[in-house]
Structures are given as C-alpha cells and as structure tokens.
C-alpha cells in the first residue's frame, strides 16, 4: 500500500447482518486520501453496501469497477472536491448514493453517468455552487434528491432534466434567488418540494404549473413579498403549504383558487 492509499479490504470491517463492508479512518492523522483502482478486486459477491469515512480527496476513475452488485454506497464525511464523469463506472446496480459532508463545489455534465437504477441521492452539506445542465441526465429512476445546505444560487430550466420519476426534492438552506419558469416541468410525479431558507423573492404563476401531484411545498424563510394570481391554482393535491418567515405584503385575489389546503 502506498502512502495515503486505502488499505486492502481484508483490513476493513465486515457486518454479516447488513452485508456491509466499511472502513473508517476519520480520526486518524495519517490520512487516507486516495481510493485507488483495484481496491475492490475479488470482493465477495455477498457485499451489498460499502461505507467509507476517511479523508478521501481523490477517487480513481476505475475504483468502483468491481462493485457491480452493491446496492448502497456511503461516501459521507470525506473531502471529495468534485465528481468526474465516469467516476461511478461499474456501479450499475446501485440504488442509494450518499455524498453527505464532502467538499463538492461543481456538478459537471454527466457526473452520475451509468447510475441508471439509482433511487436515492444525497449531496447534503457540501459546497455546491454550480450544477451543469445534464448533471442528472442518467438518473431517470431517481426518486429522492437531497441538496440541503449547499451554496446553490440559481436553478435553470435544464438543471433538473432527466429526473422524470423524482418524488422528493429538497433544496433547503441554499442561496437560490431565482427559479426559471418551467424549471419543474418534467417533474410530474413530484410529491414533496422543500425550498425553505433560500433567497427567493419572486414566485410566478408558472413556477409550479406542472407539479400536479405535489402534496407538500415548503417555501419558509425566503424573501417572497408578493404572491401572484393563480400561483398555486394547478396544485389540486397540495395539502401542506408553508410560507412562514417571508415578507409577503401583497396577495392578489384568487392566488390559491382550486387549491385545497
């Protein structure tokens, strides 16, 4: 093993009940910083979950090529700065990817290519500022996306392209000031949308127009001062709407027509 590389998996912890292979080096000052190619060569077919909590800042593009049967990958509490397209090559069975508490700043186009069966993705508590169009393009089966506590300031019309089966989207505690009209047009199955504690000032009548299955909408703690006519009129299944801690001074007549709360 080279300095800074991950030790061989025979030194990792194995939990037979959860079928989890794990390695934690978080409190060790001799930091592991690199996940090298071949580390999972000959790994047992019993392994369904891999969990790594160290100080990893570099992942070889072939590091996961031998993990084609795992369902869950936890990479929380590392120092990963970016997601390189193809980084998750080989993880064709993956259902759950956890990137909590890393240093990711930018989600590039094709960042999650190959993860066609992924259902849950958490990139909470990173430093994301930019999400390229096409970053989520391969995630047609994703159901839950958590982007809580990042530095996102804008969501464009193409940011969420490809997420046709998404049911839960949480962008809580970011710096979002603007949402392009029709941003959510492809999210017809979305049931929960949380955008509390951002910097939104304007919600137009078209912002949520295709979210016909939405059950819960959280917009608390923004800078919304005006609700335009018929903003929520299409949300016929909405039962929870939180607008607390805004600066609403104008509510035009009929803004919630046909919406039962």
- Predicted TM-score (pTM) of this structure: 0.92
CATH of domain 1-151: 3.80.10.10
Cα 223 from Cα 247, distance rounded (Å): 6
Stretch 227-245: mean pLDDT: 89
For the segment 16-41, what is each residue's pLDDT rounded down to a tens digit?
Answer: 999 999 999 866 655 678 999 999 99
Q: How far apart are CA 71 and CA 50, in angstroms?
A: 9
Average pLDDT value for the chain: 91
Q: Name the nearest CA neighbour of 146 among 128, 165, 127, 172.
A: 172
pLDDT in the model for residue 1: 46
Does 233 score more than 90 pLDDT? no
Q: Residue 196: is it exposed, middle or buried by C-beta count within 10 angstroms (0-12/13-18/19+)?
A: buried
Overall average pLDDT of the 92-101 stretch: 97
Domain ranges of the chain: 1-151
**Whether the predicted pLDDT of 47 surpasses 80:** yes
pLDDT tens string 62-72: 999 999 999 99
pLDDT, position 253:
64
- Among 26-40, 97-111, 116-130, 234-248, the minimum mean pLDDT is found in 26-40
């Amino acid at each position: 093993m080279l300095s800074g590389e991950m030790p061989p998996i025979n030194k990792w912890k194995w939990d037979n009940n959860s079928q989890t292979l794990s390695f934690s080096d978080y409190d060790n000052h001799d930091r592991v910083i690199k996940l090298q190619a071949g580390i999972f060569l000959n790994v047992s077919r019993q392994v369904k979950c891999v969990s790594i909590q160290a100080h990893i800042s570099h992942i070889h593009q072939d590091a996961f090529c031998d993990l084609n049967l795992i369902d869950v990958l936890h990479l929380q509490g590392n120092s990963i700065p970016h997601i390189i397209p193809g980084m998750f090559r080989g993880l064709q069975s993956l259902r759950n990817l956890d990137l909590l508490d890393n240093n990711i700043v930018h989600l590039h186009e094709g960042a999650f290519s190959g993860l066609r069966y992924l259902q849950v993705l958490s990139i909470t508590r990173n430093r994301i500022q930019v999400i390229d169009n096409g970053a989520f393009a391969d995630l047609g089966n994703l159901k839950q996306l958590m982007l809580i506590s990042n530095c996102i300031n804008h969501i464009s019309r193409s940011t969420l392209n490809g997420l046709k089966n998404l049911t839960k989207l949480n962008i809580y505690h970011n710096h979002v000031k603007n949402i392009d009209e029709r941003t959510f047009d492809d999210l017809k199955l979305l049931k929960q949308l949380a955008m509390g504690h951002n910097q939104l000032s304007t919600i137009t009548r078209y912002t949520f127009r295709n979210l016909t299955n939405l059950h819960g909408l959280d917009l608390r703690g923004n800078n919304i001062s005006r609700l335009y006519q018929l903003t929520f009129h299409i949300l016929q299944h909405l039962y929870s709407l939180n607008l607390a801690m805004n600066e609403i001074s104008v509510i035009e007549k009929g803004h919630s027509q046909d919406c039962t709360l």
